[in-house]
Amino acid sequence: MIASPISQENIVVGEVANGLPLTIPVYRLKGDGTGPSVYIQANMHGAEVQGNAVIFQLLEQLKHLNLKGDITLVPYANPIGCNQKSGEFTLGRFDPITGTNWNRMYHYNTDLVTQFAQNHMQYDDAILKSAFKQALIDEVDSKLNGPAYLLNTGKRIALNLQKLAHQADIVLDLHTGPISSKHLYCPTYATNSARYFNIEHVLLISSDFDGAMDEANFCPWWHLSEALSKQGRELSIPVEAFTVELGSQEKIDLSEALNDANSILSYLNYKAVFVNAPHTPANITRYACHLNDYFAYYAPMGGMVEYIAPLGGHIKAGEPIAKILRMERYLSEQPLQTLSLESDAIAILHFASASVNQGTELYKFFTNVFEL
Amino acid sequence: MIASPISQENIVVGEVANGLPLTIPVYRLKGDGTGPSVYIQANMHGAEVQGNAVIFQLLEQLKHLNLKGDITLVPYANPIGCNQKSGEFTLGRFDPITGTNWNRMYHYNTDLVTQFAQNHMQYDDAILKSAFKQALIDEVDSKLNGPAYLLNTGKRIALNLQKLAHQADIVLDLHTGPISSKHLYCPTYATNSARYFNIEHVLLISSDFDGAMDEANFCPWWHLSEALSKQGRELSIPVEAFTVELGSQEKIDLSEALNDANSILSYLNYKAVFVNAPHTPANITRYACHLNDYFAYYAPMGGMVEYIAPLGGHIKAGEPIAKILRMERYLSEQPLQTLSLESDAIAILHFASASVNQGTELYKFFTNVFEL
Amino acid sequence: MIASPISQENIVVGEVANGLPLTIPVYRLKGDGTGPSVYIQANMHGAEVQGNAVIFQLLEQLKHLNLKGDITLVPYANPIGCNQKSGEFTLGRFDPITGTNWNRMYHYNTDLVTQFAQNHMQYDDAILKSAFKQALIDEVDSKLNGPAYLLNTGKRIALNLQKLAHQADIVLDLHTGPISSKHLYCPTYATNSARYFNIEHVLLISSDFDGAMDEANFCPWWHLSEALSKQGRELSIPVEAFTVELGSQEKIDLSEALNDANSILSYLNYKAVFVNAPHTPANITRYACHLNDYFAYYAPMGGMVEYIAPLGGHIKAGEPIAKILRMERYLSEQPLQTLSLESDAIAILHFASASVNQGTELYKFFTNVFEL
Amino acid sequence: MIASPISQENIVVGEVANGLPLTIPVYRLKGDGTGPSVYIQANMHGAEVQGNAVIFQLLEQLKHLNLKGDITLVPYANPIGCNQKSGEFTLGRFDPITGTNWNRMYHYNTDLVTQFAQNHMQYDDAILKSAFKQALIDEVDSKLNGPAYLLNTGKRIALNLQKLAHQADIVLDLHTGPISSKHLYCPTYATNSARYFNIEHVLLISSDFDGAMDEANFCPWWHLSEALSKQGRELSIPVEAFTVELGSQEKIDLSEALNDANSILSYLNYKAVFVNAPHTPANITRYACHLNDYFAYYAPMGGMVEYIAPLGGHIKAGEPIAKILRMERYLSEQPLQTLSLESDAIAILHFASASVNQGTELYKFFTNVFEL
């Protein structure tokens, strides 16, 4: 028996040069209206395909669950990035024309929060929340319904997705790193929720808006809560949004996708999205660091890299993290250079290629780590 | 007789994967020390090659002039961008790995200005200026001399160039648009100087820092002047920096380069860089607009574009600016769409390709234009 | 009054990574069956968009003409190439994954000709031609209907187009050069037909098959004619196929497209495709050379190029064709090098970028030219 | 004690747009002249970096060996391919301008063999071989010393390398696949030599020339031997050339490189390159197939791929080799498709990305396999 029927809609988010429309499939399941609604998207960056497999595994399970809240799932969120090849690989981290990161084009009008906080003090929490949600949706709609010549390609895709996301109480944006361990971008106010994902590494982020999907959803609410707090009113932030980093790009692993689907179901179950679902978090140690302590290590020289620090590994200062082979000056220099860190860290991800220029981002590390 | 001998130095700004160094040629002419010093670079964006030809034409003339100030000229400023091909064209507007615009990686530490303004009030203008210039250079040096693993590829190139630029009183960064008319980015405080370039279109910009070379040079001084002004002291801004847009990318035109060299010599002569030079500005009407009024018109649909609005042309509202051919639906729609503007404008540049997605930046226009 | 109604069909030629189908629009006009049938396609190479405008101008006129033969027109022939951007430009000359030129993937089974010539000697010309045409179509069909895992991406697109083309007696493949004058690739047996296009430069090609659309259509017939000739039977080749080079890539020019449409209509009128059409060729001098004399001039050094030889211009040996600016060694070498040819030639096309490596194809020239 | 001193030379193989030379490091060790000479190169394709690590491990051992024959080692054979990034990955399989595979540009003049066989019948084997070796070198030299405007970029690089290779009796070109098991391209006449490499999979190739480095070295000798054989004279082919496929691209693994160095030393020891070296082949089963049986399996549909067939694995007909996830039509189709083969095979390599168009080369398989 299928508890929850699934429906599909294709939304048009653009048009390419030969006039063919760019469409995105949107899958929806209806809840009974008593729980929070959920929005999950994947593959905003072209090479980060594993999220599609997670959505597959989610759908395979969700259709057997009883839902309290509505769930919307969007694979292939970026039909340009998804299909932009350069050589064998998918070149979909940024718009190939402008270089703009596809996940930095979401919209946020800070004035909206300021004005709203001023004008809606008299309403109770329920009405306030409902009105603010509608205001966010209207703001996006006004952009989408404005003159077409005001919107660039990525903004139009982002706004279409953001409109769907604003309708939800929970937003999950599924990404991957280049070669990466799993990690979670979590706004600090939602730290407790991070304990319900089966993800060992948690990056705690502040309320700064930098254009990403998660920020576009939690920043307005966070800032509204702060604005009201200054006026002496405490509003619990009713929206949670996370960027879920599933591992490495350019890879589909269906059984790992099932694990990640279960991790997400555990979190959603904690948030009371389901009626009687069995999903609970795994008993693992979770390590966190603040975004300011998320350390990018750039290649100090050009060369060919053997990556040594294992992803997820706890690295001691002075231990080797990589070797750089430089065959141009085999006779005149030490051709094999060993790199290390000056302080302890957890290796989270590394560059996808073994061939680096001086200054290429080689590794990213959690530093000043603490247990969650 | 050659009045001013030219010297060459090659500076190393990075290293590629096979270990070969990335070098940039730096040409220098010495002045007698009585005039302002000048820094001119070209080709930071790979496809924007015409600046190299302008530097050629400048050198050919400068060697016959008597100089008051030192002049430093740097062609091929970005050896990665310059040599990054994708198909026939040079793909050098952004780092091919990260998507970051090469001209958004210059450095500016706003704290430096604040601290400096507090700590150097007691000095007279000459000492203050000299100390601040040195502080800017030291700031860049401290980055360049810090751990190599803290600098990404573009930042290292940018810092090396910026170090040269900070030593000058006048900074010119030679760029081009895609398909473009000539225009000049000019900080508002230097508006009068714009009258000495033979460039009809002037874009007036504020003191916001967005990572570009011109901003990296004028913003600190501008902000210092503002900080001192708040303390009741008026300091004339001793540095001018401009981005000079020479026309279209992917094009070398030596006679047009001579015209642009003469335009630059006219400005430098006005700034008293030469002894008895004959260069004066052309008698042309100059049109200006503020950066906020520099209007990007995005393709309202995907298709094949015939560009109609002539570059530099004064376009009336409602006049056709482009036609978009859409052969996918020849029978079911009007296959040829005509685009127009809602207000008067000057067409400054347009996209380089005839093939556009919905949302591609089609044209940029000056609006709310005034004569300078 | 519209004499000839136009119908549209969309054919599916592939599928991209997010599962969306790749479709190509096919426009058809029916003739009265008394004249030769015609197939015209455009934009097989992504950046070569002007052919779409020519098809637009053809359709606008064809609908007012009375047709003897059926006409099939296919714009946007390559939906992958058409939409593959890299920076501002369309990177569509080759498959971005494999590097294979999209116009070198057509199919030709030489065994088919040999076998056919042996097995069909007994038939008269009309039956022979009809059977051979069907055999070519069947050959393509057998590939298209074979296991999907045997066909690569480009081959599948090519076969779908080739199937349409084999049904016609006249095949025109509309291309452009990088920066180019108009020229025509013409099989030597059809030299007389070249006099009916308004194209000044004609490249005469032999019966070698190299994978291109025109060759895929005329080679089998040409080889069949040769095979029969060895057996003492003369068969006039009933199919003509040309690659029409319309000028420069990345450009839409609707009025020039009308000129090219008229040029094609003139040729089709000569071939008796129309009832009472007025189109006749322009009175121009046509210059030809053999493919062996089509001379590629590679950049003898790296540098920045000013192209001097005008396209279509008759260049004398020793005259400058280009200047190469080399600013890396301004002091130690002659920074401006002038290039010239060792024999007379007509400049047909040049490279699209001003920035070249040593060995980049700089120009292509007709040599050993003769009037047609 | 270092038995064999190493010398380094840098050869210039081209020049990029900013005028900087393209150089390749060449390392040489001298033998005592009693054994065959050896040429080994790596990294002709930009992303195939592991060969550089193998050359490193070879040099580390060779300097302790006593050599009978001279050895020349060339890492970073292609300074353009090596440094051509597109996104994180190295886009170096083909010239980014033309699409031409860098390993299809070597030179072979078949006329040379024909003429040589006719003109040198009177000489004994030693003189014949020496003269033919010189003729091959002279042929390459005449191209390199001809007018610079006749050579394209890749040809110039290839000729410079080929000139070095022609001087050797043994030529090894180190490559990798995308994601790949180790395999060896071996000319059928040298099948016995394949038993001395520690490589389980051997691809036997015929004497057809297709532009690759190995072919450019063995084809002339093979064809000469055949031509002489027709004249009744048997000449043993004195040159062996192999393409050694080391595994996957974009990866440096120094300990695996040591294994591969030992594999090569085992072969060279068998060929009597060393005095008293201990290197012998591993006791493994070697599987071979003919190039005609090397089967490319193209994606029968677009989608996201989970690769299942293990590399080096012996796959039975009907067993799953990959799953293709298609989330666009989750509701209307089976979203997860399982692919299989129609006959038994060994999986040798698969595509590097999980995201494929219909027709992307998914896997390559050995079929009709036999033990060597």
| CATH code 3.30.465.10 for D6-285 | no
Q: What is the pLDDT of residue D20?
A: 86
How would you classify residue D312: left for phi > 0, otherwise alpha for psi between -120 and 50, otherwise beta? Answer: left
Residue type, A369: V
Contact pairs from chain A to chain C, CB under 8 Å: 47
Whether chain A has a CB inside 8 Å of the CB on B148: the answer is: yes
DSSP of C141-206, one letter per residue?
HHHHHS-GGG--HHHHHHHHHHHHHHT-SEEEEEEEESEE--EEEEEGGGGGGGGGSS-SEEEEE-
The CA distance from A130 to A136, in Å, is 10
Closest to A35 (Cα-Cα) out of A271, A286, A354, A220: A271
- Quote the CA–CA distance of D271 and B301 in Å, as a whole number: 66
Question: Which residue does chain C place closest to D355, by CA atoms?
Answer: C17
Of the CA atoms within 13 Å of residue B256, those in its CB half-sphere come to: 15
d(CA A278, CA C303): 67
Chains touching chain C through at least 3 C-beta pairs below 8 angstroms are: A, B, D
- Identify the CA nearest to C252 among candidates B309, B320, A17, B353: B353
Q: Which residue pairs from D368-371 have beta carbons closer than 8 angstroms and sit at least 24 positions apart in sequence?
A: D368/D289, D368/D290, D368/D293, D369/D287, D369/D288, D369/D289, D369/D293, D369/D314, D369/D344, D369/D345, D370/D287, D370/D288, D370/D289, D371/D285, D371/D286, D371/D287, D371/D288
Give CA separation, A266 vs A31, D75, D201, in Å: 17, 51, 46
**Cross-chain Cβ contact A301/B148 below 8 Å:** yes
Which pLDDT score is estimated for C2?
57
- Evaluate if residue A2 carries a pLDDT over 60: no
- CB of C211 within 8 Å of a chain B CB? The answer is no
* pLDDT tens-place string over residues D14-63: 999 988 899 999 999 999 999 999 999 999 999 999 999 999 999 999 99
Question: Of B37-51, B98-112, D78-92, which range is least confident?
Answer: D78-92
Burial readout C274-296 (b: 16 or more C-beta within 10 A, e: otherwise): beebebebeeeebbbbbeebbbe
Rounded CA gap, D8 and D23, in Å?
Answer: 12
Please state the domain extents for chain D: 6-285, 293-367
* Chain D residues touching residue B88 (CB < 8 angstroms): 97
Residue in the structure block whose two tokens are 């990177």: C91
Residue whose structure tokens are 């279509």: C312
The per-residue pLDDT for range B11-48, each reduced to its tens digit, is 999 999 988 899 999 999 999 999 999 999 999 999 99
Exposed/middle/buried for C356, CB within 10 Å: 0-12, 13-18, 19+?
Answer: buried
Contacts of B156 in chain A (CB under 8 A): 358-359
At B44, which helix (H) or strand (E)?
none
Q: Name the average pLDDT for chain B.
A: 96
β-sheet with D336-340: strand ranges across: D336-340, D320-325, D303-307, D355-356
Cα separation, C308 vs C341, whole angstroms? 12
Check B17 against A303: CB less than 8 A apart.
yes
Q: Contacts of residue C97 in chain A, CB cutoff 8 Å? A: 85, 87-88
**Per-residue pLDDT tens for B180-224?**
999 999 999 999 999 999 999 999 999 999 999 999 999 999 999
ipTM of the complex in this document: 0.96
Per DSSP, A123 falls in state: S
> Cα separation of C41 and C55, whole Å?
8
- The length of chain D is 372
Is residue D292 within 8 Å of residue D203, measured between CB atoms?
no
In angstroms, the CA D286 to CA D192 distance is 11
Which of C152, C356, C357, C362 to probe by mutation at the D interface, max D CB count within 10 Å? C357
* Start-to-end C-alpha separation, chain D: 39
Are B241 and B187 spatial neighbours (Cβ–Cβ below 8 Å)?
yes
Once rounded to an integer, what is the mean pLDDT over residues B94-102?
95
Q: Which of B253, B331, B357 sits opposite C6 (nearest CB)?
A: B331
Neighbouring CB atoms inside 10 A of B291's CB total 12
* Residue C211 region by backbone torsions, left for phi larger than 0, else alpha for psi between -120 and 50, else beta: left
Of C76, C86, C96, the CB nearest to A18: C76
- Using the structure block, give the residue that is written with the tokens 């057809």: D208
Q: Is D330 helix (H, G, I), strand (E, B) or coil?
A: coil
Chains that touch A (3 or more CB pairs under 8 A): B, C, D
Interchain CB contact of B154 with A (< 8 Å): yes
* Contacts of residue A50, Cβ cutoff 8 Å, sequence gap at least 6: A42, A174, A176, A246, A247, A248, A249, A251, A252, A253, A256, A257, A260, D354
Q: Is the distance from CB of B327 to CB of B343 less than 8 angstroms?
A: no
CB within 8 Å of C292: residues ≥ 6 apart: none
Q: Which of B79, B86, B87 sits opposite D18 (nearest CB)?
A: B79
Q: Which pLDDT belongs to residue A19?
A: 84
CB-based contact, C76 to chain A, within 8 Å: yes
How far is Cα A331 from Cα A338, in angstroms, rounded to an integer? 17
Q: Say if D79 is an interface residue toward chain B (CB within 8 Å).
A: yes
C25 in contact with B at a CB cutoff of 8 Å?
A: yes
The pLDDT mean for chain A works out to 96
Q: List CB contacts (< 8 A) between B301 and chain A.
A: 15, 19, 148
Give the residue-averaged pLDDT of A154-159: 98
pLDDT score of B97 more than 60: yes
Q: Return the ∠ at Cα C231 (arms to C225 and C233), rounded to 5°.
A: 55
- What residue of A is the nearest CA neighbor of D53? A325
DSSP C101: B
Q: What are phi and psi of C304, to 5 degrees?
A: -105, 130
Q: Is the pLDDT of residue A3 over 80?
A: no
Task: Tell me how far apart the alpha carbons of residues B188 and B372 are, in angstroms, rounded to a whole number.
Answer: 12
- Report d(CA C93, CA D97) in Å as an integer: 9
| pLDDT in the model for residue B305 | 98
Whether the CB-CB separation of C263 and C61 falls below 8 Å is answered with no
Q: Going by C-beta distance under 8 Å and a sequence separation of 6 or more, which residues neighbour residue C246?
A: C48, C50, C51, C54, C174, C175, C176, C182, C256, C260
D340 and D321 in contact (C-beta within 8 Å)? yes
pLDDT of residue B9: 97
Q: Counting beta carbons within 10 angstroms of the beta carbon of residue A282, is it exposed (0 to 12), middle (13 to 18) or buried (19 or more)?
A: middle
Closest residue to A17, CB basis, from C83, C87, C97: C83
Closest CA to A46 of B92, C85, B93: C85
| pLDDT tens-digit map of D97-144 | 999 999 999 999 999 999 999 899 899 999 999 999 999 999 999 999
pLDDT given at position D19: 84
DSSP 8-state assignment for residue D316: P
Residues 6+ apart with CB under 8 A from B142: none
**What is the pLDDT, as a whole number, of residue C86?**
87
Residue stretches of chain C with pLDDT short of 70: 1-3
From the list C243, C216, C41, the residue with the least C-alpha distance to C139 is: C216
The secondary element (H helix, E strand) that includes residue B185 is strand B183-187
CA distance linking residue D184 with residue D56, whole number of Å? 20
For D28, nearest residue in chain A (alpha carbons) = A331
| CB < 8 Å from C in window 283-312 of A | none
| CA–CA min distance A296, chain B (Å) | 8
Mean pLDDT confidence for A46-55: 97
Would you say A71 and A170 are in contact if contact means Cβ atoms under 8 Å apart? no
Test mutation, B20, B24, B43, B74, chain D, max D CBs within 10 A: B20
3-state secondary structure of A349: strand
Cα–Cα–Cα angle for A334, A340, A342, rounded to 5 degrees: 130
- Return the residue matching tokens 């000492």: B127
**Residue D2 pLDDT greater than 60, yes or no:** no
Residue showing tokens 């960027």: A243
Q: Quick one: what percent of chain B has pLDDT higher than 90? A: 94
Question: Cα–chain-centroid distance for residue C263?
Answer: 15
Residue A4: pLDDT over 90: no
Give me the amino acid identity at A276.
Answer: N
Q: Is C144 on the interface with D (CB under 8 A)?
A: no
d(CA A82, CA B148): 34
D84 and B84 within 8 Å at the Cβ level: the answer is yes
Are the Cβ atoms of A83 and C19 closer than 8 angstroms?
Answer: no
Per-residue DSSP letter, C184 = E
Cβ-based contacts under 8 A for chains B and C: 146
A 84-143 → D contacts, CB under 8 A: 85-91, 93
Q: What is the mean pLDDT of chain D?
A: 96
- Partners of residue D361 in chain C, C-beta under 8 Å: 98, 152
Return the CATH number of the domain spanning residue range C292-371: 2.40.50.100
* Beta strands at C71-74 and C21-29: parallel, antiparallel or unpaired: antiparallel
Task: Report how far residue A82's alpha carbon sits from residue A92's, in angstroms, rounded to the nearest whole number.
Answer: 6
* Assigned fold of A293-371: OB fold (Dihydrolipoamide Acetyltransferase, E2P) (2.40.50)
Q: Which CATH number among 3.40.50.720, 3.40.630.10, 3.30.70.580, 3.40.50.2000 corresponds to the domain C6-284?
A: 3.40.630.10
Verify whether the Cβ–Cβ distance B80 to A357 is below 8 Å: yes
Is the Cβ pair A89, D89 closer than 8 Å? Answer: yes
Beta carbons of A358 and A300 less than 8 angstroms apart: yes
Measured CA to CA in angstroms, residue D299 lies from A82, A258, C322 at distances of 17, 24, 46
Q: Could you tell me which CATH class the domain D293-367 is placed in?
A: mainly beta
For the cut 60, the answer to whether the pLDDT of residue A161 exceeds it is yes
Q: How confident is the model at residue D295 (pLDDT cuts 50, 70, 90)?
A: very high
CA distance C35 to A232: 86
- Ramachandran assignment for B39, one of left (phi > 0), alpha (psi -120 to 50 degrees), beta (any other): beta
Please say if the pLDDT value at position B2 is more than 90: no
At a CB cut-off of 8 Å and minimum separation 6, what does C370 contact? C287, C288, C289
Looking at residues D264-278, what average pLDDT do you find?
97
